[in-house]
């Protein structure tokens, strides 16, 4: 059995893209969802936009 390790630091862009593509949603209230380079999301709640942000480095929410 061969063990494979990820390099130290950020995830390779191909792996990150693959992981994020699995997070797609069919919910029409999600205006801006997950994606490469996106540190925020926008959700429509009865005509009002709720903006949520995250810091992927320090995990401050």
pLDDT tens column, 16-28: 888 878 776 788 9
- Is the residue at 14 inside a domain? no
- Is the residue at 42 inside a domain? yes
Does position 39 have pLDDT exceeding 90, yes or no?
no
Domains in the chain, number: 1
- What pTM value is reported for the model? 0.61
| Domain enclosing residue 53, as ranges | 27-61
Buried b (16+ CB within 10 A) or exposed e, 29-42: eeeeeeeeeeeebe
- Is the residue at 50 inside a domain? yes
A 10 A CB-CB count for 24 gives 11
Residue 48 pLDDT: 98
């Amino acid at each position: 059995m061969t063990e494979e390790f990820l390099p130290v630091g950020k995830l390779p862009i191909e792996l990150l893209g693959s992981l994020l593509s699995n997070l797609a949603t069919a919910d029409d209230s999600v205006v801006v969802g997950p994606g490469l380079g996106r540190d925020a999301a926008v959700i429509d709640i009865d005509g009002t936009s709720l903006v949520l942000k995250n810091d992927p480095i320090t995990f401050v929410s």
